[in-house]
Chains A and B, each alone.
Chain A
């Protein structure tokens, strides 16, 4: 295994120091000269980022993304682990499919791909999938989600929450009361009224979160809320946490940065579910992330083939790329607050997903899964230059702070000089 000496690196913004990468671990520099020396002057080392919400599209839509291309995008974004959502084709609702995705991730070897299992068979919201079998599989699934759809039936949601207690699982809910969002296209408010697009009311998210935290409390289980998008949801979560409910929540970079005003061009690159909200929602989400009411930043990286985005707004599929821009956007939102960034993008998501090898600060004695960031660099997002197979980034042409220079996964470089090593 190649050894690396990383010189003059600032770990989480601390005084510059040297680190040795050997045998998958980080060490105080000592012994024989390293194979490769990296001058990290001016660079910040962060624990490898962990994404709780990634759509890798394989199996089923390999024209939009594969486990390998998505893994490469993730590594370039500073990630060392991603949780792959279950809405593939076939759906990841059996031990067979989650093991397939897990092995594809291992084969790509760029990040750890942790499959998320479906809660219900075929994401149909009717019968529980074999959650136990997925938990016991080689993929060791602990997080279950019907993402893309909400587990709408309250009885089924209650049972799922109860059932996963047996193996320390967590249900990650895409909170959307679908009776309130039939045909919905954009946030319901000033923009939907003006654009004549069916509204997706904030209450459709807030009502499900409120119900689910109460169910979680009732059965003593654990809930994770996907892509929280409204100020009202933040208040529901604040209340639940104050009561001691075992709930965590994530927010996407796009909900931290963009608003529903983006819809006014009808360019479907701005179509996402839940939809972009208003500036006051953005402000509330930023404050909640800083405060910790929202625990993690998760990308909801959702690649789509060109034909699914170059069309009428109502026909377009919802979703945006996120892996290669998430860190920069979080830096833009939080500033160079490395402690909070590490907490929200690595340590906490690793804990939520049960990824014990991840989320450790890049210091001697810890696994060498980390990323080096140039905080002074600024870059302009060029969709064509992204590693993802798809091009549906809403940030095209935007100048963002921070650039990932290198990423290491268990001591192996997955990114060097800003380029993927494989």
Chain B
């Protein structure tokens, strides 16, 4: 595999390999010396056009644990903010002879576009409302470690599916791994064209929860209200928020996930986010292992 642009780039074998490799990486992280020499001499650029300290630190930690040289290239305050185009930035990276680029960008497809101009591997760390494949991988990793196997697992993805790159990547990856996905949200936040997705759609969260092994709450931005996607934050929470009453509808073993950053009180009640069934903190830790696995598999074999 040259790039990781979409969760669809991974077939069952490749996805399983990433998850298995992440398991090894996690085991390594509990040792005293947390570093592996695997990517010594390799250069990874973190190219972040959106503020996302969490994701950037996760990738940076992953790359450093594999002994790669990491260059952080933030769009803020750089030549990019002064108007340098993606193409010019790409040509600069190309001239530097970098081995991999981790890109976060507000425009859907920017990693695909970048891959035309750079010889190194491109790893999509979230592009617009398109995809976020490493998030889907860490979610799958989290589900597998909590619930065993992914095949046949019933996963509900709840919230702003229309604008969610997390949802797109999760739908693709979970289908590859044999899980059954139900998308839940107000019809305004479910994309036209969803009928082609390997998932079922429901507008009624209460009816979905009893048959769910993992429920993934998506962030809902308040500014969507101004665009008439839903009338008010209160009504949204009432219809699609995960509160204590709804948690009781879930089977005993079901887990509660959120890709973060979450809006407590909007899509998830604070006590639900902090409950033992919530995997939110675990997801962050798993993120480093999964990103180590991705970097290792993309760059290690060179």
Contact = CB atoms under 8 A, between A and B. Distances in A.
A313 B196 contact: no
A313 B107 contact: yes
A195 interface: yes
Interface stretch (A102-110, A183-191, A394-402): A183-191
B109 interface: yes
A194 B130 CA distance: 7
A224 to B, nearest CB: 29
Interface in A298-322: 307, 310-315
A230 to B, nearest CB: 14
Nearest to B193: A193
A185 B107 CA distance: 11
A193 B108 contact: no
B96 interface: no
Given A266-B108, A266-B112, A312-B110, A194 B86 contact: no
Given A199-B193, A266-B113, A311 B108 contact: no
Contacts of A288: none
A193 B112 CA distance: 17
A196 B193 contact: no
A58 to B, nearest CB: 25
Contacts of A314: 107-109, 128
Contacts of B193: 188-194, 199
B87 A311 contact: yes
Contacts of B105: 312
B165 interface: yes
B194 interface: yes
Contact of B86 (A191, A265, A312): A312
B9 to A, nearest CB: 13
Interface string B75-93: 0000000000111000000
Interface in A121-155: none
Contact of B165 (A185, A196, A311, A313): A196
B191 interface: yes
Contacts of B129: 196-198
Nearest to B116: A267
Contacts of B165: 196
Report which residue of B85, B109, B197 has the largest number of chain A beta carbons within 10 angstroms of its beta carbon: B109
Nearest to A306: B87
A192 B128 contact: no
A201 interface: yes
Nearest to A191: B193
B107 A192 contact: no
B196 A190 contact: yes
Given A194-B196, A196-B108, A311 B85 contact: yes
A310 B87 contact: yes
Contact of B194 (A193, A195, A266, A307): A193
Given A188-B193, A189-B193, A266-B113, A197 B85 contact: no
A313 B130 CA distance: 12
A195 B130 contact: yes
A404 to B, nearest CB: 32
A188 B108 CA distance: 15
B107 A199 contact: no
A197 B110 CA distance: 12
Nearest to B192: A188
Contacts of B128: 196-197, 314
B168 interface: yes
Contact of B109 (A188, A198, A307, A313): A313
B108 to A, nearest CB: 4
B192 A266 contact: no
A62 to B, nearest CB: 21
A265 B130 CA distance: 13
Contacts of A195: 108-109, 130
Interface string B181-212: 00000000001111111000000000000000
B99 interface: no
A197 B109 contact: yes
14 contacts: A185-B108, A189-B193, A190-B195, A193-B196, A195-B130, A196-B129, A196-B168, A197-B130, A199-B192, A265-B112, A266-B109, A266-B112, A310-B85, A314-B128
Interface of B: 85-87, 105, 107-110, 112-113, 127-131, 165, 168, 191-197
Interface of A: 185, 188-199, 201, 265-267, 307, 310-315
- The 5 tightest CB contacts between A and B, nearest first, are A266-B109, A193-B193, A196-B130, A312-B107, A193-B191
Given A194-B168, A194-B196, A312-B110, 16 more contacts: A190-B196, A193-B192, A193-B194, A195-B130, A199-B192, A201-B192, A266-B112, A266-B113, A307-B87, A310-B85, A310-B87, A311-B85, A312-B86, A312-B109, A312-B113, A314-B108
